[in-house]
Structure 1
Amino acid sequence: MTPATAGGPYKVPRQHDNWRSITLSVVMHAVLLMFLWIGVSWQNNEPVEVQAEIWDMKVEQAAPTPTPEPAPQPEPEPEAVKPPPAPVVEAPPVPREDPEIALQRIKKKKQEEEKAEKLEQARLKKEADDKLAKLEAKKKAEQQAKEEKAEQEAKEKALAEKDKKKAATEKLAKEKAEKAAKEKAFAAEMSRITGAAAKGSTGTAAQSTGGRVDGGYRAAVIAKIRGNMSGNWDNSLSATYSITQLPSGEIIGVRKVKGSGTDAYDRAIESAINASSPLPKKKDGTVERDITADFNMKDMH
């Protein structure tokens, strides 16, 4: 290449190698034909227009005064040709559905939904009915169990009452039997004593049953009973009791004639009387079958 002189116009340098230009032209035409063949094979895409400029390197201009040639410059590389864009594949058109068929499909779908809703409602109703039936059966079973329990308790209570009455009757019968036995033993003892007294002297028969009241004997009886009493009591308290005893001094009956007004004091006296059996005897060895004694706290200290 020959550069332009200072201040002069640019001139195309003279080309000394024509084979190079011819080869470049052939390559460019081959590339162009290949792109055209690819574009034709893709029928769905619009043909891509490819433009190529061909320079005729033979054009020459009048050169100015020759100047020394500069060092050769590297030849410019050919411009890269961009590949064609990828073909755009269009989706096939969706066929339009017949309005009558679409209406039938919507109607069928609605009927299926209504049927499913009815089935669901029936299922929920059945579940609710089953729960209600189970609840009623449970309540009925609980009520029946409650009634059976109440009936059983009533039976047990009646049986307990019956057993209690039976025990009370048996106790009363036993007490009566014991009292009768004691009365019989007392009568036998009295018969023995009176019989022995009749053999010895008829004047002592009255004494065998007690005779007149002996003040020392009564004091001895009260003293023994007082010794079996417990607790501290008011001196104003006073009670009267009747005591029935066998000739041996064994107490067979205690009866309150006059209470003190204090139940605790009366119970203490009764307990002390029962704890004092057998009671002391008179000097002649006899006892009073029935003895009434006053228990005054002021006289018992």
Structure 2
Amino acid sequence: MNRKQSVYPLQPPRERGTWRAFALALLIHVLLGLFLYHGIHWQNSTPAGAEAEIWTDISPTPTPNAPPPPAPPVRVAPTPPIDQEQADIALQEKKRKQQEAAARAAQLEQEQRQKALQEQQEQERRQAELARQQAEQKAAQQKLKQEQAEKLREQQAQEQQKQAQLKKQEQEKQAQLKQQQLEAQQKADAEKAAKAKALAQQQAKQKAQLEQERRARLAQLQGMAGQSEGGNGLAKSGTGSGSGGTAASPGYSDKVRRRVRPNIIWGGETAGLETVVSVHCAPDGQVLSASIQKGSGNAQWDQAALNAVNASNPMPLDTNGRAPASFLITLRPAG
């Protein structure tokens, strides 16, 4: 019963006691048949005729003043026997009617049982049809859900594949860009290193050359140490002047003054300030060294004068295309 209800959830419960009712009906029909059999058998027995004898006392008894004797009773004739053929016919007719009634009752009961069975079968068939429809509907819904889930999985797989392709392309682009940047950086570093190396080599070469020239000039200066200071030709005019040195032309001081003057930055006092700066140059005018030869007593002005000389690097070349090896510059603030 539980298995059938699980298969057909809408089926109503079966009525219990069907076989018991059928057995009870069968027992009643058997008892009815036995009753009819015994009743018919009892009716078929032939009834015996009734006989009666009457005895009267005929001896006279003298009784004085006795009433007259009663009249003799009339003898009742025996009942004539019933016609056996008619009794048999009546019994058979009764038996036939009883059999027909029993047959109709059995047929009616059989029809009722068949009708109930047909109704039950029809109900079961309807329930089975309903269960089949429900199962088909459920299967269709399940199939639709599976198709939708499969379609959704396909869409997700396609989206994931597309995202993976885009991510791969982006990674390839980034890797290519990084490679290009790395190559450019390596190239720039190589160029920078080459330039730095070339510059270092050039600076080393210039430094060696300057060092060689400095040593030569120092040797020359040591040889010229006995010359007078006036030979340097100090110029006193203007805000800044220069001496031509041992190898300077007469107009070289003006060139130095024009070069140094714009680089003087001073906003303090101007009265009585005068500073002499000693300059050593390379042949191309590069300032090798600059130092205070004679201070003014104002350290700030002396530093401003020294800064102006260093800011004027390189110094102008002389008429021979070379800068003097050493010379003195006398600087005064404009006032």
TM-score band w.r.t. shorter chain: 0.3 to 0.5
Q: TM-score, normalised by structure 1?
A: 0.43
- Of Structure 1 and Structure 2, which has the larger fraction of its residues in helix? 2
Q: TM-score, normalised by structure 2?
A: 0.39
